[in-house]
Amino acid sequence: MDEGPLPPPVAMSVDMPPPHPLLALTEVHRVVIEAASLSLASRFLDRAPRGDGHPVMVLPGFLGSDGYTASLRRYLTRQGYAVHGWGLGRNLGPREGVLEGLLERIEFLGDRYQCAVSLIGHSLGGIFARELAREAPERVRQVISLGSPFGEGRWTGSYPSRLFSSLNPPEEIPVAEDLLPNAPPVPTTAIYSRGDGIVNWRTARQHPEFGHARAQSIEVRGSHCGMTLNPSVWFLLAERLAQPADGWQPFERRHWTALVYPAAAD
């Protein structure tokens, strides 16, 4: 007797330590270096694939706003995408009306451009993006998270978790937290860095047990706060966004890209 599809796996409670304090203390310095390297990487960035004009929405991380992602959005616009911010001010968490407002926004953009929207989210913004794709997969072309702690151990492995909890009591969070590690049913890319000084990098990867054939994790070198200003991340985003809507393929490290993007971490 066919009982239908199996339910998605549920993550067990796992503790992860936060990043080494040295990584956290050097976050600001590394962000400055990453931002300064953008001008030196202009030729590298010019080699990125061009876009097809489809809409892209970029969601900021916890305590961030659209101003924090402005440089990244300008670059993706130059690459040929219709790029938009999230338009909800400072990201303080999944407070009342936030997820509903984001759903309305992707519906508006999808209707305006007559196609699905690609979502890029930094840190907490990436968790929002994944949940939006889970809620409305027909509206989302693909999801890319940047240092987003959606995996097991995210509460103990993140320095801002206490502040987040004080602003967003767990009992009031309008998502099924046990299902956060599950990849949404759209092409999904999790970009992470072992140099992340804010969240444990292991919590920002897509675990195969909770993934699918169109889900992938890709490592970059850099800080957490600088992911929206990191030239290797910018190039990778342009390359991922250029994937055909009906022909997504995983990123391959080959030729010169193998020098920029480390091999998959254990």
Task: Assess if residue 7 is contained within a domain.
Answer: no
The residues, ordered by sequence, that sit 6+ positions from 125 with a Cβ below 8 Å of its Cβ are 58, 59, 60, 61, 64, 86, 91, 146, 148
CATH number of domain containing 42: 3.40.50.1820
Task: Assess if residue 179 is contained within a domain.
Answer: yes
Task: Assess if residue 137 is contained within a domain.
Answer: yes
> For 103-139, where are the E strands, in sequence order?
117-122
What is the predicted pLDDT for the residue at 1?
A: 42
Provide the whole-model pTM.
0.93
What is the predicted pLDDT for the residue at 83?
A: 98
What is the predicted pLDDT for the residue at 10?
A: 58
Task: Assess if residue 55 is contained within a domain.
Answer: yes
Task: Assess if residue 262 is contained within a domain.
Answer: no
Residues of the chain with pLDDT below 70 are 1-13, 171-172, 265-266
Question: From residue 105, how far is each of 43, 59, 116, 119 by CA, in Å?
Answer: 34, 12, 12, 11
What is the predicted pLDDT for the residue at 170?
A: 75
Task: Assess if residue 201 is contained within a domain.
Answer: yes
Task: Assess if residue 6 is contained within a domain.
Answer: no
127 vs 61: CA distance, rounded Å: 9
Give the DSSP letter of residue 126.
Answer: H
Domain that holds residue 126: 21-243
What is the predicted pLDDT for the residue at 152?
A: 93
What is the predicted pLDDT for the residue at 245?
A: 93
Find, among 114, 82, 85, the residue nearest to 101 by Cα: 85
**Residue 38, amino acid:** L
Task: Assess if residue 11 is contained within a domain.
Answer: no
Question: From residue 15, how far is each of 22, 59, 106 by CA, in Å?
Answer: 20, 27, 34
What would the pLDDT profile of 223-253 be if each residue is shown by its tens digit?
999 999 999 999 999 999 999 999 999 999 8
Q: How many domains does the chain have?
A: 1
